[in-house]
Structure 1
């Protein structure tokens, strides 16, 4: 609707005088113009009719990045959330079925898929909740970590399937350190329990760290000090300098212990350690530039929680 509002014309000819006008000298009576359907044209309003401004009625402009293939594509976000939710539900159901009704170790693979689905969903969900302006398609971390990240997860599942298919029994080391579980009348390795604990611990710590950092958290190292960016030292950050990295590192190793992988456990350990060592070193150089002695003191009193990274 146009911002300008037109009024209805009152006509150019003078009104005829009322028969009683002579009784009241100096007063001219007003006789309404005869109404005609054409007098109210589309898009026109009477000047006596209250109206709203264009800012109240005009639709809000949609951010172009919300359109398909945009960085914040609504269709892309909804599709990824749907697929991750479906994957989480199906994988969890298969894990429970294989664990309860069969005597196979292959439940570990759908458990790994369920863990991955939950991890990537929470990456976006926490970002959207606590750091809304940064919530884009890449916040799921499904492809932004590079092809090597996805290859590593594929290799982990392949190793688990191959190992448990050709060597279904526990290794000699596994048998020595296995402990009985009377409830099921079977044995379970402490390495499996440790792996499950690390997966849970890592996920909880990373999720809470992202939430507590809120708008100060970013999936990418920031080279410029943006307005409003502050040094977070409360919550988990009182005890760990980079709790989100701590969570990711131990979560990754925990998944390999649950899968029972040997080769991928070593590979994950080396790759994750190298990645976080390089990233933390680069990131802290910028943080010292941003916050000066405040960050230096913070660094001195808080550990990273990843072996051999100080």
Structure 2
């Protein structure tokens, strides 16, 4: 059942998304009186975004406020991404799709934890501050997109490559969320060093297909984002760096799981692969 903070975040995310779409909706209904006051539509969006953040500041305090402002931010980005993907020039449309995919991923991480394991819910569950390297990688992908769009306009037009990337992102997202929902209280964004009393070895559902479905989903989501943007350099960099990150992460996690579950995990390893290309995990013989 969704906890109160999860409900709050969902309300803020949906509200911010709808508010971001409001100017376009009014324009299509020919109720565009706002044009008299705002000749620049982006200035109107800035005013709207500031307004709903002021409301959040007045309405909430503490942890609830921190949840609200992040959900509002991601919801507004999600809505703006939809607008760009359906109203902007073709070379910007794929960036709009990318924005919706990125905002949805980070928000759904928080929502999934709020639903399946609220005891460990925190602001970090949005994983907006995942790491410095993650932020740099995202920034570099935007820079590559803008530079290539300026010099190679045709490269950024919607194509089967970008739509395949979208399918990859959606599939990876679904797999990751299925893993989180299947593992429930056993899932945590941080690798646990101590075994809790209710910690169980999950081997059913998507875990019967691969040992690390959440990592598999994130891996393919990651490289899918660069296919959407049609960034050839960042696609190669993301594939390499994501593989390296999950190679190290799987080793660390499997050492921990072997300590927790011993022979049961060894038998599980024998039956099910990691799901990640060229990553076999940490193996021992008992």
**TM-score bracket for the superposition, by shorter chain length:** 0.7 to 0.9
Match of 2:270 in 1: 300
SS at match of 1:253: helix
Structure 1 residue 92: Cα displacement: 1.2
Matched, 1:156 2:146: no
Structure 2 Cα separation of the partners of residues 304 and 198 of structure 1 = 18
User: Unaligned stretches of 5+ in structure 1?
Assistant: 1-65, 172-186
Structure 2 Cα separation of the partners of residues 214 and 223 of structure 1 = 18
Match of 1:116 in 2: 102
Cα contact 1:106–1:161 (8 A) shared by 2: no
What is the aligned length? 221
Higher relative contact order (CA 8 A, sep 6+): 2
State how 1:46-195 maps to structure 2 within 5 Å.
Answer: 68=62, 73-98=63-88, 102=89, 104-143=90-129, 145-170=130-155, 189-195=159-165
Match of 1:217 in 2: 187
Matched, 1:247 2:237: no
Structure 1 residue 105: Cα displacement: 1.8
Structure 2 Cα separation of the partners of residues 188 and 79 of structure 1 = 32
User: Unaligned stretches of 5+ in structure 2?
Assistant: 1-59, 281-286
TM-score by length of 1: 0.68
SS at match of 2:168: helix
Structure 2 Cα separation of the partners of residues 237 and 96 of structure 1 = 37
Structure 2 Cα separation of the partners of residues 85 and 163 of structure 1 = 28
Q: Which has the higher helix share?
A: 2
TM-score by length of 2: 0.74
Structure 1 residue 191: Cα displacement: 2.3
Structure 1 Cα separation of the partners of residues 138 and 178 of structure 2 = 24
What is the CA deviation profile of residues 245-276 of structure 1, one whole-angstrom value per residue up to 9, with x for unaligned ones? 00000000011011010111111111111110
What CA RMSD, in Å, does the superposition of the two structures yield over aligned residues?
Answer: 1.7
Cα contact 1:198–1:250 (8 A) shared by 2: yes
Structure 1 residue 189: Cα displacement: 4.0
Structure 2 Cα separation of the partners of residues 80 and 169 of structure 1 = 35
